Amino acid sequence: MAGCVVSMALASGVSFWSFGLYVEPLEDEFGWSRAQVSFGFSSALLVSGLFAPLVGRWVDSRGPRSSILLGALLTALTYGLLATTSSLWQWYLFQSINAICRQFMFIIPFQALVSRWFDRKRGIALAMLGSGFSLGGFAVVPVMSMVISSVQWQGSFIVAGVVTAAVLLPVGLLVIRNSPEDVGARVDGEAPVEGEPVTRQPVQGVTLGQAMRSPLFWTLAAALTLFFYGMLGWLIHQVPFYESVGISRQNAANIVAISALLSIGMRLTIGAIADRFPRFEVVAMTLAGFLFCAMATLLISPTPAGIAVFVLLWVVGAGAGPMMEALLLTRGFGLLHFATIFGVIMIFETIGQILSPTIAGAIFDSTGAYDWALVMYMCTFAAAFVLFAIAWRLPRPIESLPVSASARPLQPAPASNPGRD
């Protein structure tokens, strides 16, 4: 678990958490508009989303370990490409290549890996993995800000590539294993019975086709698309927003770092709570509500006091972001084809993610402020709340499968009406 947390911290810290640090340096270097720079991140999200089903299929068939090793090697090399950027088309192309490679070593394989190792404790385990995501924002973003100031944005990409290879390759080779049975252990860290051989336990799950024929799949796809439209879009524009209201870049990076630090404890809390909710949609509704209030706070009061309230609301609302798909999809569709189903869901999420940063950047370019972007994100979080509420009442396809005595259970089914628990 420690290897997963460290890897997630590094991978997220030098990519998603640090995106906002590159906006102004690239504007200053090349004279590009904020929308043009933001579209580089959007194009990267587009191609990574389109390749997500391929990554998911690789993980389901060959295991997450091989995916992480391949992704770490290729991602390190593509950071070198980004350092050579000299024109807008190269910025788009190199960001896209980097995003494809990073997909192989990021969310899908690590969530699949943790889901294979944990069942009854899956919520807290995914929360620990998510804490690695937050740790990347706390520990890596201030360092990357200093690196950019010291060696410029080109040098920072070289540093990101070297560190990625130096950390993830050894972790993948020496620490990570595809399942607990590979090291003679059992799911959830349970001690094996003395004298009883540890055998690989089959898991349950519906196929991608069965999942896509259910209303739950499409409702969750829409809800997650809207939820991450707002979350990721604002993650990229947080630093530029703070700068637009008079906060220095370093202090803006520090605010992001503080938010990430606070979210670690909140993420673990939500993970512990999640294991007690057979239907995680209830928790997802609450989180969307907090994010709606967070955006409203910045719109009403973009002052230091307002930003402090925003940080608290954002920490709660975004607390379960990195683990939402795994908790929703494994409980709805099972674990057997989780990575493949997750990969397809990511295509729909990407539709929102490629638009969100670009639209927010265009709003700023045309108005000189982020007010209407905040209104836009309030609307998306409100719509996500409604869709999670609908999903909460829908039946889960996994419950229609016959239960095998030898199959690993996937979260105990609720005793009452599954659509209401």
- In sequence order, what DSSP letters do the residues of 119-170 get, joined into one string? STTHHHHHHHHHHHHHHIIIIIHHHHHHHHHHHHHHHHHHHHHHHHHHHHHH
Could you give the dihedral angle defined by the CA atoms of residues 38, 48, 133 and 148, in that order, rounded to the nearest 10 degrees? -40
Mean pLDDT computed over 21-30? 87
**Distance of alpha carbon 52 from alpha carbon 47, whole angstroms:** 9
Question: Can you say whether the dihedral through the CA atoms of 144, 147, 151, 155 is positive or negative?
Answer: negative
Is 236:387 a contact under the CB 8 Å cutoff? no
First to last CA, the chain: 30
Q: Which two tokens stand for residue 36?
A: 């043009």
Is 284:320 a contact under the CB 8 Å cutoff? yes
**pLDDT confidence bin for 412, thresholds 50/70/90:** very low
**pLDDT confidence bin for 191, thresholds 50/70/90:** low
pLDDT over threshold 50, residue 111: yes
Most trustworthy range by pLDDT among 67-71, 202-206, 233-237, 333-337: 67-71
Local structure of residue 200 (DSSP, 8 states): P
**Distance of alpha carbon 34 from alpha carbon 389, whole angstroms:** 36
Give CA separation, 24 vs 33, 133, 239, 372, in Å. 9, 24, 10, 21
Q: What is the pLDDT of residue 416?
A: 38
Q: Which two tokens stand for residue 399?
A: 């419950």
- 3-state SS of 21-46? HHHHHHHHHHCCCHHHHHHHHHHHHH
**Distance of alpha carbon 364 from alpha carbon 24, whole angstroms:** 13
Is 133:12 a contact under the CB 8 Å cutoff? yes
pLDDT over threshold 60, residue 196: no
pLDDT over threshold 80, residue 401: no
Q: 124 or 364: whose pLDDT is higher?
A: 364
Is 204:335 a contact under the CB 8 Å cutoff? yes
pLDDT over threshold 50, residue 235: yes
Is 94:85 a contact under the CB 8 Å cutoff? yes
Superfamily of domain 2-180+205-399: MFS general substrate transporter like domains (1.20.1250.20)
Mean pLDDT computed over 4-25? 82
pLDDT tens sequence across 279-329: 889 989 999 999 999 999 999 998 889 999 999 999 889 877 777 888 899
Q: Which residues lie across from 205 on neighbouring strands?
A: 334
Mean pLDDT computed over 337-350? 88
Q: What is the pLDDT of residue 192?
A: 59
**Distance of alpha carbon 108 from alpha carbon 348, whole angstroms:** 15
**Percent with pLDDT over 70 in the chain:** 90
What is the CB neighbour count within 10 angstroms for residue 125? Answer: 24
Is 74:165 a contact under the CB 8 Å cutoff? no
pLDDT over threshold 80, residue 180: no
Is 359:212 a contact under the CB 8 Å cutoff? no
CB-based burial label for 412 (10 Å; 0-12, 13-18, 19+)? exposed
Backbone angles phi, psi at 353, to 5 degrees: -70, -30
Does the model's pTM come out above 0.85? no
**Percent with pLDDT over 90 in the chain:** 35
Local structure of residue 406 (DSSP, 8 states): T
Q: Which two tokens stand for residue 146?
A: 């200093």
Q: 213 or 1: whose pLDDT is higher?
A: 213
Is 29:153 a contact under the CB 8 Å cutoff? yes
pLDDT tens sequence across 47-96: 888 888 999 999 988 888 999 999 999 999 999 999 999 999 999 999 99
Distance of CA 321 to the CA centre of its chain: 6
